[in-house]
Amino acid sequence: MEPYQWTIHEARERLDKGEISSVELTRHVLARIDAVEPKVQAFNTVTAARALADAEAADRMIAGGNAQPLTGIPIALKDNMITEGVETTCSSKILSGYVPPFDGTISARMKAAGAVLVGKTNLDEFAMGSSTENSATKTTRNPWDPERAPGGSSGGSAAAVAADMCLGSFGSDTGGSIRQPGALCGVVGFKPTYGRVSRFGLVAFASSLDQIGPFTRDVHDAAILLAASAGSDPLDSTCSDRPVDDYVAGLSAGVKGRTIGVPKEYFIEGTDPAVAAAVQDGIRQLEAQGATVREISLPHTQYATACYYLVATAEASSNLGRYDGVRYGLREEPGDLLSMYMATREAGFGTEVKRRIMLGTYALSAGYYDAYYKKAQQVRTLILRDFETAFDAGVDLVVTPTAPTGAFKIGEKSGDPLQMYLSDIFTISCNLAGLPGISVPCGFDGNHMPIGLQLIGKRFDESTLLAAAHAYQQGTDFHTRRPQL
Ligand code: GLN
């Protein structure tokens, strides 16, 4: 096995034993990026010089006996996370050339932990999409088949881990953008509870739904990245003050004695039979590890996609009002101030972003607000109550497929927004309810593309969720399979 293929916990052991330095490990990872990035196109920016400087600093921390779990570990950040001195584009023309003068909390915490930043990864423009095809910078390829999409919106972060171009990465998940690309690229994708990880410096898409979380090769690594990123932040008032559990120690709890609910609304027509079969196998595996499985009902599931596309677009239309040519990136100057706003937004935003701004503005406008936005908020409450009812009845975790199909062909859905929106049908409810969810590899479809199994937990009960997902990986080896590049 090459060093760039190691898990984070494996690399930690070797770094601590002095078998390899962070500079050496980082050189291996940068060489891997040079070798496969031309095929995968996962990065908007590769920060090679910064990575080597970070690695040197990390080696000094290790030599001084000050290593933390991530010290010296090469990671990547989605390019909607603010990084001081490193261009942050959101894969949008409107932010082109924007170099932030400050760090967001995720970037600052990774720096403080001694992690090595190798680059910023591609995404659907402003995280709006499910395939990364809405990027204005490049088309990221699925490492398992370059004709296929990596999923989205955090497709670059997922593909970078799957193609061994970093040991772990962070993405953001508003409606499934960590779990769905995790599933389609065959890696672990983990969205923590809303408010578990600070959003300060995460460029806002839909503020009541956005959440940062990790992509990793296994659940153990996801626990490590969550522990290093979670916890209260005075710079984000929606970030919770609850103490951060010891997620790594909690992994050994397993899934024995847990009750897992299988919602009947998630095993529906339109799901690839190979996906349904792999998830059923996964459920049997959880049972074999000691879980009790029972069928449950989440009756408002059918409204989740419609509800999400009102709430998310409404919030986006407001959040994206700040891109006007005055403060960041692109500026078109055809004449007076109003023409500048209009020409900048016309030239700077892509089609999908404009569609969302228009949808959201419509849903919020006088006369339509009650019928659309307010109604969607009421439906959101019903969706949350569905989960609460199941949890109150003794269910600890909910298990579902992550996405209805494996990776689809590039171009297959990009002309049909509704088809694309349906890719998120199984991931969206979790965001609307604010719950933590994880996708783990659980098989392959007829095209040899990875399939993901989703587990959803109670609010702030990441420990139970991670322990169950870890138990699943103790009995399966799907997470150890790698694409041939
Ligand atoms: N695919 C969904 C959307 O387009 C979710 C995106 C996300 O989670 N950022 O809105």
So what's the pLDDT on residue 334?
Answer: 87
Nearest residue to 417 via CA among 309, 321, 319, 311: 309
So what's the pLDDT on residue 418?
Answer: 86
Calculate the CA 134 to chain-centre distance: 16
Is residue 206 classed as helix, strand or coil in its secondary structure? coil
* Whether the Cβ atoms of residue 103 and residue 134 lie closer than 8 Å to each other: no
Q: Which of 21, 78, 458, 463 is catalytic?
A: 78
Structure tokens at 237: 């008032």
So what's the pLDDT on residue 268?
Answer: 81
**Architecture of the domain made up of 3-254:** Alpha-Beta Complex (3.90)
Q: Report CA(213)–ligand 1 centroid distance (Å).
A: 14
* Whether the Cβ atoms of residue 456 and residue 437 lie closer than 8 Å to each other: yes
Rounded CA-CA distance 6/182 in Å is 18
* Whether the Cβ atoms of residue 7 and residue 218 lie closer than 8 Å to each other: yes
Ligand 1: which of 123, 130, 320, 416 to mutate, most ligand atoms within 8 Å of CB? 130
Residue 191 designated active-site: no
Burial 214-247 (b: 16+ CB within 10 A, else e): bbbbbbbbbbbbbbbbbbebeebeebbeeebbeb
Rounded CA-CA distance 18/1 in Å is 18
- Residue at 265: amino acid letter: E
Summarised one tens digit per residue, pLDDT across range 123-147 is 999 999 999 999 999 999 999 999 9
CA dihedral 152, 156, 158, 160 (to 10 degrees): 170
Plot region of 195 (φ>0 → left; ψ -120 to 50 → alpha; else → beta): left
| Ligand 1 neighbours (beta carbon < 6 A) | 127-130, 153, 173-177, 205, 312, 424
* Whether the Cβ atoms of residue 239 and residue 224 lie closer than 8 Å to each other: no
H helix or E strand, kind and range, residue 248 = helix 247-250
Sequential pLDDT tens for the chain (485 residues): 999 999 999 999 999 999 999 999 999 999 999 999 999 999 999 999 999 999 999 999 999 999 999 999 999 999 999 999 999 999 999 998 999 999 999 999 999 999 999 999 999 999 999 999 999 999 999 999 999 999 999 999 999 999 999 999 999 999 999 999 999 999 999 999 999 999 999 999 999 999 999 999 999 999 999 999 999 999 999 999 999 999 999 999 999 999 999 999 998 888 999 999 999 999 999 999 999 999 999 999 999 999 999 999 999 999 999 999 998 899 999 899 999 999 999 999 999 999 999 999 999 999 999 999 999 999 999 999 999 999 999 999 999 999 999 999 999 999 998 889 888 999 999 999 999 999 999 999 999 999 999 999 999 999 999 999 999 999 999 999 999 99
Rounded CA-CA distance 353/424 in Å is 17
Ligand 1: which of 81, 90, 128 to mutate, most ligand atoms within 8 Å of CB? 128
Q: How many CB atoms lie within 10 A of CB 324?
A: 17
The answer to whether the bond into 92 is cis (omega within 30° of 0) is: no
Give the start-end residues of each E strand in 36-93. 43-46, 74-78
* Whether the Cβ atoms of residue 110 and residue 198 lie closer than 8 Å to each other: no
So what's the pLDDT on residue 359?
Answer: 96
H helix or E strand, kind and range, residue 443 = strand 437-444
Rounded CA-CA distance 335/144 in Å is 49
Instruction: Give the atom of ligand 1 at the shortest distance from the alpha carbon of 356.
Output: 10
Rounded CA-CA distance 246/264 in Å is 33
- Residue at 464: amino acid letter: T
Rounded CA-CA distance 160/403 in Å is 20
Nearest residue to 115 via CA among 169, 190, 164: 169
Dmax (CA) of the chain: 69
Summarised one tens digit per residue, pLDDT across range 223-254 is 999 999 999 999 999 999 999 999 999 999 99
* Sheet order of strands, 292-296 included: 43-46, 116-121, 74-78, 168-172, 212-216, 188-191, 437-444, 450-456, 397-401, 259-263, 292-296
Q: Which of 21, 130, 154, 177 is catalytic?
A: 177
What residue owns the CA closest to ligand 1's atom 5?
175
Global pTM value = 0.98
239 phi and psi, to 5 degrees?
A: -85, 130
